[in-house]
Amino acid sequence: MRPARALIDLQALRHNYQLAREVTGAKALAVVKADAYGHGAVRVAQALEAEADGFAVACIEEALELRAAGIRAPVLLLEGFFEADELPLIVEHDFWCVVHSLWQLEAIEQASLLKPLTIWLKLDSGMHRVGLHPKDYHEAYQRLLASGKVAKIVLMSHFARADELDCVSSDEQVAVFDAARQGLVAEVSLRNSPSVLGWPSVSSDWVRPGIMLYGATPFGEEQALAARLQPVMTLESKVICVRELPAGEPVGYGARFITPKPMRIGVVAMGYADGYPRHAPTGTPVLVAGQRSQLLGRVSMDMLCIDLTDVPEAGLGSTVELWGKTILANDVAVAAETIPYQIFCNLRRVPRLYSGA
């Protein structure tokens, strides 16, 4: 059997969820969209269900997958519905629903629904992605109430730059949010992972942690609370071939690496078809036989090469950690000029093995 696999530590996941709760004192929706950032939405939700206040997903397809697996906790649709004909299903399954645009508000007004909805009314407080314009916010709230189709409204917005700890943008967004919701008596939800970890002064009845649940920091720099996160996913495989090469020999596609000296090279069963980033350059850290080493040359579809020259104890069959508890996904992301979010979401083909259920 091909030795590539992703080990998912559900105990670490619960630790990270509890950290989000502990540092905010708020209710927390665990963000499990995109298959729980590649960790497996159903298994992640099952592992958290006993304690989680609810879950958040990107669309009704993801929400239905949770319900089909028996998850009964609240599930928020972060982009609401894409077409009005999803509304009956939203009602049937008790999903909570973001309203970010006036067309969604109109669709709710025109729908005939068997039960009233729980709506999270989203304000565009400065990110300019989705969310109602501040001038429309009060009126939208009043129209939802007047529609008779809504049981509860939570006021929400989303930060664009909370991962930049010395940037004033988040404070400015809070000010826009506070001004827009003046006079409205309702719970609020603002904080994603960087805001949970790095912006203690932002008040939010509900927080929406995503990346921190999976143990990766949203910051590009050291941060005290982020240092308490525990990595959840370990992507590992084994050395399937060892080569001794003299100086001056090319390694891999495009001869992107030429041995500068006699070297021992390990070939690992892991490639970009598994989600390992093809753009990770020579020098990207790996762990082999418990020792730090580095990637060499171009990543292929199913294999990649690593340096065993200074790891004599490593050989055929040695375990390789591509990311996990020692080689952080953040380190691989930095090397490959991406973010841990994408590193995790790209995972595919490898079986996921769960522990700590």
| Residues near ligand PLP (CB under 6 A) | 31, 78, 158, 192-194, 208-212, 218
- Nearest approach in angstroms of CB 263 to ligand PLP is 39
Minimum CB distance to ligand PLP smaller for 1 or for 224 = 224
Distance (Å, rounded) from C-alpha 186 to C-alpha 169?
Answer: 24
Q: Is 205 exposed, middle or buried (0-12, 13-18, 19+ CB in 10 A)?
A: middle
Cα-Cα-Cα-Cα dihedral sign, residues 325, 329, 331, 335: positive
- Nearest approach in angstroms of CB 168 to ligand PLP is 19
Distance (Å, rounded) from C-alpha 233 to C-alpha 39?
Answer: 7
Clarify whether 33 is annotated catalytic. yes
Catalytic residue among 17, 27, 33, 149: 33
Catalytic residue among 122, 141, 152, 253: 253
Minimum CB distance to ligand PLP smaller for 54 or for 194 = 194
Task: Give SS3 for 319.
Answer: strand
- Nearest approach in angstroms of CB 341 to ligand PLP is 6
- Nearest approach in angstroms of CB 128 to ligand PLP is 14
Asked if residue 296 lies in contact with residue 251, where contact means CB atoms within 8 angstroms, the answer is yes
Clarify whether 152 is annotated catalytic. no
Minimum CB distance to ligand PLP smaller for 147 or for 193 = 193
Task: Give SS3 for 285.
Answer: strand
Distance (Å, rounded) from C-alpha 70 to C-alpha 187?
Answer: 28
Distance (Å, rounded) from C-alpha 194 to C-alpha 164?
Answer: 8
According to DSSP, residue 356 is labeled -
| DSSP track, 120-174 | EEEB-SSS-SSSB-HHHHHHHHHHHHHHT-EEEEEEE---SSTT-TT-THHHHHH
- Nearest approach in angstroms of CB 100 to ligand PLP is 9
Asked if residue 342 lies in contact with residue 325, where contact means CB atoms within 8 angstroms, the answer is no
Q: Catalytic positions, please?
A: 33, 253
